[in-house]
Amino acid sequence: MAQLVLAPSLASICDKSIIKPSSLTPSTLKYHKLSLVDQSLSNMYIPASFFYPKKQSSTDDAINSHELSHITHLLQKSLSQTLISYYPYAGRLIDNATVDCNDMGAELLSVQIKYPMSKILNHPDHCNAESLVFPKGLPWNNNVYEGGNLLVAQVSQFDCGGIAISTCLSHKIGDGCSVHSFLADWASATRNLSIPSAPRFVGDSVFASQQNNNIGPLIAPIIESNVNECIQKRFVFPNAKLDALRAKVIAESGLQNPTRAEIVSALLFKCATKAASKLTSHRSMRPSKLVHYLNVRTMTKPRLPRNAIGNLLSMFSVEATNEEETELPRLVRNLRKEVEVAYKKDQVEQNELIVEIVESIRKGKLPFETGDDDECDMYFCSNVCKFPYYSVDFGWGKPERGGIPNGPFKKMFFLFDYQTGQGVEARVMLQKQQMNEFERDEELLQFVL
């Protein structure tokens, strides 16, 4: 496979600015308390990137002007306005339980890239190539960024005139839904130069930081994985092939209306376990578990608003101990059963994610701590299909591509909407040897572009 080789001189930083909220955060909001779920997460930053080709035919100055200095100025101004509402992201961590909302600001970098955008998007190893539009070493990093910034953004201009916007937001403050809310509001402010309506920062008001027998504050865990051993691949399931996959599952399982996330994650899990089996000396399947993260904003009583900011998550899982249990009809039925059970639970008092955190601590382990010698392989799925990342419009149209860079995850699936409802885009992270087997799976290849 071709490798992306870029000389350091091809990417140059034109500007690096600290952007502070355009008005001071009230003293009543000085400290943002982190929940037990927040504390259980590493200090990593959630990355997202968006690629906007230059519009050759537009005459609208606001859209067609791809001068880097002009765009940087717009983004600086709108980010400053947006941080009024997203004030914890302009603060600094005091410890693993508290953010000092001191308005020290977020960082915005302006970068010139002497390389065509098309070669990034069409590169055989484009998931690694996309890392070029992020501050070096920041995405998925376990350590707090230099200066303690909890939000770092970068605008990159390619020599073709195209623009990429990337953001890295601290996972301590919010989840993927929180990131989308921020991006939507920042993009809106850039288009309209208006201050977005304020989101609700939940903090420890829902999942108390010291509930469950006063456990906490926790020590931030570290994800120990060599990113060079892991690889990410992008798989697109267009609607026509999703319909065929859904019809197959319905015919064989009798389950009506399986969701896109259910059928795609089940197929990915099945193919990943098959790939792993081929690498064992006895070529048999290890017990494996598929863990789905669950957005609980609409599951709490009372319901939280869609733009509530925090790690408002639970989880559910299915387990397979042999190949028969990875067959799609059974997997999808079991996924549906578990999600129905999850929706019947009180997601504050019976939150499976918090149960996992508390039980791990009582056993003297870090939450989600796993090793190669564990009895069960754990695969994780984060489904953000309902969040329209392909609609993030800063004023020059919708992105041609959204993405996340390669990370330190050995067994992870991310599911996105593909180009505003045209299918599902899966970003799959596995160890390299397992990926070599996975991407050749004939059943998988039936349903992807």
The residues pairing with 46 across neighbouring beta strands, listed in sequence order, are 169
- First-last CA distance in the chain: 19
126: Cβ contacts below 8 Å, ≥ 6 apart = 120, 234, 403
Structure tokens at 112: 């010139």
CA atoms within 13 A on the CB side of 266: 26
Dihedral in degrees, nearest 10, Cα atoms 96, 387, 124, 446? 120
Which of 141, 137, 150 has its CA nearest to residue 34?
Answer: 150
Which of 425, 403, 44, 437 has its CA nearest to residue 227?
Answer: 44
d(CA 317, CA 315): 7
Give 169's DSSP letter.
E
| CA-derived radius of gyration, the chain | 22
* C-alpha 316 chain-centroid distance: 18
Which of 216, 372, 351 has its CA nearest to residue 293?
Answer: 351
Q: Tokens 């990337």 map to which residue?
A: 166
Which of 61, 319, 361 has its CA nearest to residue 213?
Answer: 361
Structure tokens at 116: 């065509």
Backbone angles phi, psi at 306, to 5 degrees: -60, -35
- Residues annotated as catalytic (active site), given as ranges: 171, 393
Instruction: Give the Cβ contact number of residue 229 at 10 Å.
Output: 12
d(CA 145, CA 108): 13
Q: CB of 79 within 8 A of CB of 22?
A: no
Q: Tokens 């809106």 map to which residue?
A: 188
